[in-house]
Structure 1
């Protein structure tokens, strides 16, 4: 495998991981907007752009890690869906890990 193939997997992983995380974010925004409409909050009161961007970065990171683990696998529909799922679920894992590490550091 040469450097261009490796970069292709890496870029695909980042982009598809962000796609997976975008799906997760859209579901979250839909749920939050439904809850906000009942309590009459405005969109600006509960939507945080910084959090969305951080979330997309986490999804891209998870997708990149997923793609690296799949190096050499043919890039087919199964590969693409696996990487999107990595971004969807992996970002949650990374976020949870970060919170756990943060709370452990705060207790010492």
Structure 2
């Protein structure tokens, strides 16, 4: 039980580090809009991602740590990484499975489009057909 508890705490800490990066991206995404950061954050999603990080850390602790009384710093870093990357993998997979039709991966995570000033007002009729412009966060913005 101690091993699972330690893995859960360190995995949740790894996910919390990932959430800090996500909060920075949300702050950047809403900086040019009338939406506040607190309105853009879904607390239940944040708690769910912390729980996912804790589960990933617990599972990793079972395979990484053989002696709970002699834990190396490399094992702690590995558990942090398991919480960070495990939650990222699971949430990325679920956003692709449960995404709204036609929504690019990660778009639904923040749900904030770029400001209108960033898109051209009138397309050039003489220009060749260009690739569609990305109108929101990219796929790596689906962070905690």
Give the structure with the larger helix fraction: 1
Specify the alignment match of 2:136 in structure 1. Answer: none
TM-superposed deviation, 1:101: 6.0
Match of 1:85 among 71, 81, 84: 81
Higher RCO (CA-CA < 8 Å; seq separation 6+): 1
Instruction: Point out where structure 2 has 5 or more consecutive residues left out of the alignment.
Output: 100-144
Number of equivalenced pairs? 97
Gaps of 5+ in 1: 1-6, 104-108
Normalised to the residue count of structure 1, the TM-score between the two structures is 0.79
**Structure whose CA Rg is larger:** 2
TM-score with structure 2 length normalisation? 0.61
- Aligned to 2:31, what secondary structure does the other structure show? helix
Runs of at least 4 residues off by over 2 Å: 94-103
